[in-house]
Amino acid sequence: MTTRTSPLRADIDLEAPGRRVGHVRLPNSVHESAYGWIPIPIAVIRGGEGPTVLLTAGNHGDEYEGQIALLKLVRELDPARLRGRVIVLPRMNLPAAAAGRRTSPIDGGNLNRVFPGDPDGTVTEQIASYVASVLVPMTQASIDIHSGGSSLDYLPCAYARLPADPGLRARQRAALQAFGAPRAILVENPLTNNSMSATALAAGHVHFSTEIGGGGTTRPSSQAIADDGVRRFLAHLGVVDDAPPVAAPTRMMRVAGAEHYVYAPVRGLFEPAFELGDVVMRGQLAGRIHFPEEPERAPRELHFAGDGVLVCRRVSSLVAPGDCLAHLASDL
């Protein structure tokens, strides 16, 4: 990793007023395309004086609410009525998004594990480097919109790594409530320090992520949370005047450490003993892993290590050691 500025640039002017849509051109010389480049879509909508907001989706390519919400936003935001600038990357990891996969088919990279990237690194590291060293420094606020992807399904929520600075923490809290997801989960022990969120918060952004649904699809209810939430975030920042009202106050929750997670210790078929949204207690049965190659063998029982609400579950029943099967969150 390096902090050197990425040499990549968008082929549109990000400074002038109005709406422009173009690409960040990432050179990729391969067998099929000797002088080729990867066209990562980028849009800018700029109006009058105001903050610059960065909205990203497709960090993981198989998470769709954010990609769809940002495509709508690019078409619908009116620069004449905007105070500030909105920069949109609807498919930040384009190779992964085009393949409908969490990770890049080019280099296997998980974009949300390689920030702040490397301008001389792999394709995925170069994308992270461009966002971290070019876009983040021109921005004051951002959301990186995620869902559970193909392997996980979430109760729709905003999902926030906590900034160290108490002032920024308070501004993040206010923005989470303005976004208006049914719940916001504050993450006390993030799974990585190399995420878009870690980079944006280190830069002092009012920032959070989301986990809106999952299972490699989208639903009207989860799509509406993304569509309306980004508009409410922009209204909260004073960038737009109007946004859909919040249906109900956001339930503030926390996810702690290992006691809130259930992982598979062995290979087999997982039979969950819970539904998303269930309230569970420490010691309660989480489910059983069956051994299909040994029909006479009793299944392995798994139990919850903490109390909380079941907010995330694995989609596939086929599990291997190390797979996350479920995680909990508890009320603040």
User: Which positions lie near Zn ion, rule CB under 5 A?
Assistant: 60, 63, 146
> CA-to-CA distance for 46 and 257, rounded, in angstroms?
41
Q: Which amino acid is at 22?
A: G
According to DSSP, residue 200 is labeled: H
Report, in Å, the least distance between residue 104 CB and Zn ion.
13
Residue 242 has a CB neighbour count (10 Å cut-off) of 9
Instruction: For residue 246, give both structure tokens.
Output: 């919040």
Rank residues 60 and 231 by Cβ distance to Zn ion and give the closer one: 60
Report, in Å, the least distance between residue 63 CB and Zn ion.
5
Report, in Å, the least distance between residue 313 CB and Zn ion.
15
Nearest to 102 by CA among 146, 55, 66, 150: 150
Report, in Å, the least distance between residue 311 CB and Zn ion.
15
Angle made by CA atoms 158, 204, 185, in degrees to the nearest 5 = 20
Q: Are 43 and 154 in contact (CB under 8 A)?
A: no
> CA-to-CA distance for 127 and 218, rounded, in angstroms?
25
Rank residues 284 and 316 by Cβ distance to Zn ion and give the closer one: 316
Residue 75 has a CB neighbour count (10 Å cut-off) of 11
Rank residues 52 and 150 by Cβ distance to Zn ion and give the closer one: 150
Output phi, psi for 16, to 5 deg. -75, 150
Rank residues 140 and 217 by Cβ distance to Zn ion and give the closer one: 217
Report, in Å, the least distance between residue 210 CB and Zn ion.
9
Rank residues 60 and 91 by Cβ distance to Zn ion and give the closer one: 60
Rank residues 225 and 289 by Cβ distance to Zn ion and give the closer one: 225
Beta bridge partners of 207: 142
Report, in Å, the least distance between residue 200 CB and Zn ion.
15
